[in-house]
């Protein structure tokens, strides 16, 4: 076993240890709040963690929650790998959902089941435009993509609210919602009577696509180099401005695609609350999964378990579901704190370490340039 492999294994074990310690710390702090509420921590955590696995219905709901969370998180990971932050998943998700409804209510009856494909294409484009616009502003005018996507979130949310309260309001509906999509535009369930949808296969394909792009293509390699060091990327011939727009467009496309899948699989229309903070939770999942495809799936599954268990916990233990949101935030916070020592060492090294890092940086830059030229030649 060479030194590089040993270092990778060591880093992996340290990361797993940080995640485990963070989980335990969050649970301990959560237990204190439960005691303050006058409830039993053991019973609360039993319902929170074990109840989602008591029957196929609950497990199907886990998968149902996991699908949009995973798709949005993949988009966030694309941006994160490039050193960007896409906090606009909610708005992009809603634009994708709107696209599917527009296709269904206009040309859906002429296309039949093909309207699903058309809706996915249009929803992906809508999400890509929202994300790409933020990337373009960053590339051309140095405007923070975080500010742009957050502002777009508000614009899209109020625009959607206007539509499902007015022009696109379903006839005769007492609640604000659009017309529902047709039966032939709905993705079927694997098990009848559950939320276990074939859409999970779409998630697995997207995860595989993400891994292939990042690990097996020149485009993905340049994204990773750009996220690691802008100067090294520029030295290797990568134009950050071009990649910022492209990567944010891809990131938004996944969120928009998630909105289409949500409408076709579960919601069947656009209504208040359809987004369910998938954009924000997608960011947490991407961070918790360290932008790794397997990590994203595991983090999405874990968050879904907490969501489903939180509903059962509220009914049986009378502990509000906001407790689950607190646990999620604490876990991510502790993980970031656990990694802060490594980050501090990286960004505030000693003079001796700084000299060594400089030598390694120069060596890495040269190797990066050579690899890029070799890949382009192939």
Tens digits of residue pLDDT in 145-203: 999 999 999 999 999 999 988 899 998 888 899 999 999 999 999 888 888 899 999 99
Domain shared by 294 and 369, yes or no: no
Structure confidence at residue 12 as a pLDDT band (50, 70, 90): confident
End-to-end CA distance of the chain: 30
Domain shared by 222 and 362, yes or no: no
Burial 55-85 (b: 16+ CB within 10 A, else e): eeebbbbbbbbbbbbbbbbbbbbbbbbbbbb
Burial 215-245 (b: 16+ CB within 10 A, else e): eeeeebbbbbbbbebeebbebbebebeebbb
- Lowest average pLDDT, out of 60-69, 227-236, 309-318, 353-362, goes to 353-362
Is residue 160 one of the residues assigned to a domain? Answer: yes
Is residue 121 one of the residues assigned to a domain? Answer: yes
Distance of CA 277 to the CA centre of its chain: 11
Domain shared by 111 and 198, yes or no: yes
pLDDT tens digits for range 90-115: 999 999 999 999 999 999 999 998 99
Is residue 54 one of the residues assigned to a domain? Answer: no
Domain shared by 120 and 250, yes or no: yes
CA distances (Å), origin 166, targets 123, 163, 169, 273: 21, 5, 5, 17
Domain that holds residue 294: 66-311
pLDDT tens digits for range 210-265: 999 999 999 999 999 999 888 888 887 888 988 999 999 999 999 999 999 999 99
Domain shared by 217 and 359, yes or no: no
Interval 340-368 mean pLDDT: 53
Is residue 190 one of the residues assigned to a domain? Answer: yes
DSSP 8-state secondary structure symbol assigned to residue 51: G
Structure confidence at residue 347 (pLDDT): 40
How many domains are contained in the chain?
A: 2
Domain shared by 82 and 212, yes or no: yes
Most trustworthy range by pLDDT among 54-68, 89-103, 341-355: 89-103
Structure confidence at residue 306 as a pLDDT band (50, 70, 90): very high
Structure confidence at residue 141 as a pLDDT band (50, 70, 90): very high
Q: What is the pTM of this model?
A: 0.88
Domain shared by 307 and 363, yes or no: no
Task: Calculate the average pLDDT of the chain.
Answer: 89
């Amino acid at each position: 076993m060479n030194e590089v492999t040993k270092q990778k294994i060591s880093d992996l074990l340290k990361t797993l240890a940080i995640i485990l310690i963070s989980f335990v710390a969050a649970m301990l702090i959560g237990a204190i709040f439960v005691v303050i509420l006058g409830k039993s921590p053991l019973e609360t955590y039993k319902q929170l963690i074990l109840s989602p696995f008591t029957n196929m219905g609950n497990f199907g709901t886990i998968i149902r929650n996991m699908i949009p969370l995973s798709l949005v998180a993949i988009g966030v990971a694309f941006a994160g790998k490039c050193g960007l932050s896409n906090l606009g998943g909610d708005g992009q998700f809603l634009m994708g959902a709107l696209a599917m409804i527009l296709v269904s209510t206009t040309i859906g009856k002429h296309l039949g089941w093909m309207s699903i494909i058309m809706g996915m294409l249009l929803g992906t484009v809508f999400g890509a435009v929202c994300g790409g616009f933020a990337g373009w502003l960053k590339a051309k005018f140095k405007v923070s993509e975080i500010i742009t996507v957050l502002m777009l979130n508000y614009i899209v949310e109020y625009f959607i609210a206007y539509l499902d309260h007015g022009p696109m309001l379903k006839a005769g509906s007492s609640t604000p919602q659009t017309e529902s999509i047709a039966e032939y535009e709905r993705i079927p369930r694997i098990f009848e009577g559950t939320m276990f949808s074939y859409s999970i296969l779409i998630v697995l394909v997207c995860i595989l696509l993400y891994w292939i792009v990042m690990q097996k293509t020149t485009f993905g390699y340049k994204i990773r180099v750009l996220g690691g060091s802008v100067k090294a990327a520029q030295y290797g011939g990568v134009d950050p401005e071009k990649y910022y727009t492209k990567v944010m467009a891809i990131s938004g496309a996944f969120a928009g695609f998630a909105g289409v899948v949500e409408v076709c699989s579960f919601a069947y229309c656009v209504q208040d609350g359809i987004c369910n903070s998938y954009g924000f939770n997608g960011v947490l999942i991407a961070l918790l999964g360290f932008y790794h495809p397997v990590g994203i799936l595991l983090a999405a599954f874990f968050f879904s378990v907490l969501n489903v268990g939180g509903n059962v916990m509220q009914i049986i233990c009378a502990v509000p579901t906001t407790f689950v949101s607190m646990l999620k935030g604490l876990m991510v916070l502790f993980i970031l704190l656990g990694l802060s020592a490594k980050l501090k060492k990286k960004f505030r090294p000693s003079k001796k370490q700084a000299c060594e890092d400089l030598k390694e940086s120069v060596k890495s830059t040269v190797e990066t340039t050579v690899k890029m030229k070799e890949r382009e030649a192939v």
